[in-house]
């Protein structure tokens, strides 16, 4: 297959993201990871822009051996000289020269006419070429440049020695069909285009950066300029991981290959996120936290039967261990059963039904159910027998200026039994009301409350130890309401005492 060259500009355009700033150590760490990932060319920075950027490009140029290292320069002698000096120790150096060619840039920013822009473009490429053999030229704002003038500039810079001509959609203005037609027009109207690689550099202002890039690739572009996590000016650049995985997943459409070792994609994404301090949105394609997460019961059922029903990429292909089945209120029995099995819990049909009912009730209170929540539910239900006393409802009145009181309703032999009591706190009041109904006054030996998971909606698990007559027993209960968890734990212990053979140890 023909190769699509991956040109990564995370260290240059990506660092221009508002809020993103990398020191030399961070830039070098990312550069090494990009090299390990298999990136063809790393644009390490803009040397003339600051002493820090110059030193960072120099450090990357010295350390990176497999990937090419590129430095950006305006069509100005000082810029090109700085780029050359920064790249002096690079094994595969490239100078990337740019000059705006659109009417709006020429009129308002540069205040120069077409003939002057053409002359400066030719001079800059020739000057850079005398210093480094590999020169790339970008007519900035190419997507808004007059086509006639764009073709004229490209032909001239290729004759001057540019081996790559990059077509930037600098402000993310183009649409896929339009951008594809620009590439097709270049191939048809630039007579020496066969002497250079056509590259594209798309911004995401309209959310079309990757779409425009892939449309250009289908039209003949063979270098894609991109960034990890889609970082870049304003709304960002085309995302490396999306471009690469589109090529890998749809070989039938693109018929190309890349040199990217895709299993390193997520690792690289996490590194860039950590060092830049810019989080990846959860629904970001390929590397977002939800990219391989499924909550809907229908989707989970399909995935468990055949992964390809709802996943077009294997998580392992981008460096993730597995698909994430998110258990929430939309999940079904199949997903819950599979999770219990994976966790090592073997539930009977009845236990599974009760666990599912509790899971659904909990899911209405919490957005996401964690394995710790499920463990608490499973451990409650496994081996559980029909309770002698079942909780119907409880009501508590409590505050710092009232005596806590509770009304508890329990079901026993098909009848609802009600009692109320006061206590030192709402839990104590509930326990005393239960004792009135049951007719037993156990001795509470221990009470322990733990949050099963983190967060304000965490499931609380209560464990109580009590002595009832000659027996000691332990009860457990779990709920997002700590009072309910306490009541469940107390009842669980009492029911064990009332069920032959399950009271606990005799002491």
The enclosing domain of 31 has a CATH number of 3.20.20.70
Distances in whole angstroms, Cα of residue 383 to Cα of each of 348, 362, 373: 9, 21, 18
Which pLDDT value is given to residue 503?
45
Query: In this model, does residue 376 exceed pLDDT 60?
Result: yes
Question: Domain ends where: 329, 361, 381?
Answer: 381
Residues 322 and 468 in one domain: no
Burial 233-258 (b: 16+ CB within 10 A, else e): beebbbbbbbbbbbbbeeeeebebeb
375 and 395 belong to one structural domain: no
SS3 content of the chain, % helix, strand, coil (to 5): 45, 20, 35
Integer Cα distance of 338 and 301 in angstroms: 10
- 262 and 195 housed in the same domain: yes
pLDDT reading at 283 higher than 80:
yes
* Residue % of the chain over a pLDDT of 70: 86
Q: Which residue in this structure is represented by tokens 């600098």?
A: 170
pLDDT at position 264: 93
Tens-digit pLDDT profile for residues 378-397: 766 765 556 789 899 999 99
Residues 397 and 376 in one domain: no
How far is the C-alpha of 367 from the C-alpha of 365, rounded, in Å? 7
Domain assignment present for residue 284? The answer is: no
Q: What CATH number should be reported for the domain holding residue 472?
A: 3.30.160.270
Task: Calculate helix-pair angle for 240-249, 209-218, nearest 10 degrees.
Answer: 40
Alpha helices in 283-370 (DSSP H): 297-305, 333-343, 349-363
What pLDDT is recorded for position 328?
A: 62
Give how many domains the chain has, as a whole number: 3
Same structural domain, 68 and 146 = yes
427-452 residue pLDDT tens: 999 999 999 999 988 999 889 887 76
Phi–psi pair at 7, nearest 5 degrees = -110, 110
Please say whether the beta carbons of 228 and 8 come within 8 A.
Answer: yes
More confidently predicted of 237 and 495: 237
pLDDT digits (tens, 9 = 90+) for 448-486: 887 766 666 667 778 888 888 777 787 878 888 899 989
pLDDT the model gives residue 304? 54
Q: Within this chain, do residues 271 and 305 fall inside the same structural domain, yes or no?
A: no
Confidence at residue 34, expressed as pLDDT on a 0 to 100 scale: 98
Residues 34, 148 within the same domain: yes
Residues 254 and 300 in one domain: no
> What confidence tier does 505 reach under pLDDT thresholds 50, 70, 90?
very low
Same domain (yes/no): 401, 377 = no
- Looking at residue 455, its pLDDT comes to 64
Spatial separation of the C-alpha atoms in residues 486 and 476, rounded to whole Å: 8
Determine the 3-state secondary structure of 461 from DSSP: strand
How confident is the model at residue 402, as a pLDDT? 93
- Asked if residue 137 is part of any domain, the answer here is yes
* Domain annotation covers residue 220: yes
Count Cα neighbours of 369 within 13 Å in the Cβ-side half-sphere.
Answer: 29
If you average pLDDT over every residue of the chain, what do you get? 88
Determine the pLDDT at residue 371.
64
Which residue bears the tokens 């839990």? 427
pTM (predicted TM-score): 0.70
276, 302, 332 - which closes a domain: 276
pLDDT single digits (tens) 144-173: 999 999 999 999 999 999 999 999 999 999
* Mean pLDDT (whole number) for 108-123: 97
Give the DSSP H/E element, type plus range, for residue 468. strand 460-468
Does 217 reside within a domain? yes
What string of DSSP letters covers 219-254?
A: TT--EEEEBGGG--STT-B-BHHHHHHHHHHTHHHH
Q: Give the CATH number for residue 331.
A: 1.10.238
- Cα(79)–Cα(87) distance, integer angstroms: 12
Same domain membership, residue 50 and residue 193: yes
Check residue 425 and give its pLDDT.
Answer: 94
Does residue 285 form part of some domain? no
User: Is 154 within the bounds of a domain?
Assistant: yes
**Residue 445 domain boundaries:** 390-506
Report DSSP letters for 91-109, one per residue: SSEEEEEEEE-SHHIIIII
* pLDDT digits 0-9 by tens, 302-337: 655 765 665 667 777 887 655 555 566 667 777 778
Contact 173, 145 (CB under 8 A): no
Burial of 318: CB neighbours in 10 Å, binned 0-12, 13-18, 19+: buried
Provide the pLDDT for residue 60: 97
14/275 Cα distance (integer angstroms): 12
Residue 174 within any structural domain of the chain: yes
- Residue ending a domain, among 381, 399, 429, is 381
Q: In which band, very low, low, confident or very high, does the pLDDT at 299 lie, cut at 50, 70 and 90? A: low
Is 161 in the same domain as 179?
Answer: yes
Shared domain for 265 and 299, answered yes or no, is no
């Amino acid at each position: 297959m023909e190769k699509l060259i991956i040109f990564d500009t995370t260290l240059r355009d990506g660092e221009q993201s508002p809020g993103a700033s990398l020191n030399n150590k961070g830039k070098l760490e990312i550069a090494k990871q990009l090299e390990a990932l298999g990136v063809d060319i790393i644009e390490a920075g803009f040397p003339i822009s600051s002493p820090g950027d110059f030193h960072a490009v120099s450090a990357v140029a010295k350390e990176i051996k497999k990937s090419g290292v590129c430095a950006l320069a305006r069509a100005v002698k000082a810029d090109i000289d700085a780029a050359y000096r920064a790249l002096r120790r690079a094994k595969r150096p490239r100078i990337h020269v740019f000059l705006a060619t659109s009417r709006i840039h020429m009129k308002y920013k540069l205040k120069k006419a077409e003939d002057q822009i053409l002359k400066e473009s030719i001079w800059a490429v020739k000057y850079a070429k005398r210093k480094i053999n590999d020169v790339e030229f970008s007519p900035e704002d190419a997507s808004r440049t007059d086509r006639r003038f764009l073709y004229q500039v490209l032909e001239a810079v290729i004759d001057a020695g540019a081996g790559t001509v990059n077509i930037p959609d600098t402000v993310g203005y183009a649409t896929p069909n339009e951008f594809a037609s620009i590439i097709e027009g270049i191939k048809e109207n630039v007579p020496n285009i066969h002497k250079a690689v056509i590259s594209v550099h798309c911004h995401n202002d309209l959310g079309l950066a990757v779409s425009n890039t892939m449309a250009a690739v289908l039209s003949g572009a063979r270098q894609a300029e991109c960034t990890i996590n889609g970082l870049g000016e304003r709304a960002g650049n085309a995302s490396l991981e999306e471009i690469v995985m589109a090529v890998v997943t749809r070989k039938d459409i693109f018929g190309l290959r890349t040199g990217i070792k895709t299993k390193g994609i997520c690792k690289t994404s996490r590194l860039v996120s950590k060092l830049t301090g810019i989080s990846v949105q959860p629904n970001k394609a390929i590397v977002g936290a939800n990219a391989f997460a499924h909550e809907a019961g229908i989707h989970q059922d399909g995935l468990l039967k055949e992964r390809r029903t709802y996943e077009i990429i294997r998580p392992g292909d981008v460096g993730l261990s597995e698909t994430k089945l998110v258990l929430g209120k939309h999940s079904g029995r199949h997903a819950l059963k599979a999770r219990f099995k994976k966790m090592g819990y073997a539930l009977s049909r009845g236990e599974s039904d009760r666990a599912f009912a509790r899971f659904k009730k909990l899911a209405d209170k919490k957005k996401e159910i964690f394995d710790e929540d499920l463990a608490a539910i499973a451990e409650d239900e496994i081996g559980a027998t029909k309770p002698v006393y079942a909780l119907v409802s409880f009501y508590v009145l409590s505050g710092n200026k009232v005596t806590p009181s509770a009304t508890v309703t329990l079901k026993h032999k098909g009848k609802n039994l009600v009692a109320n009591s006061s206590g030192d706190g709402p839990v104590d009041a509930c326990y005393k009301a239960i004792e009135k109904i049951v007719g037993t006054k156990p001795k509470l030996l221990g009470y322990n409350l733990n949050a099963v998971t983190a967060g304000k909606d965490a499931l609380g698990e209560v464990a109580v130890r009590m002595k009832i007559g000659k027996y000691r027993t332990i009860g457990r209960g779990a709920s997002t309401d700590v009072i309910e968890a306490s009541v469940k734990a107390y009842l669980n212990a009492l029911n064990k005492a009332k069920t032959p053979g399950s009271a606990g140890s005799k002491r």
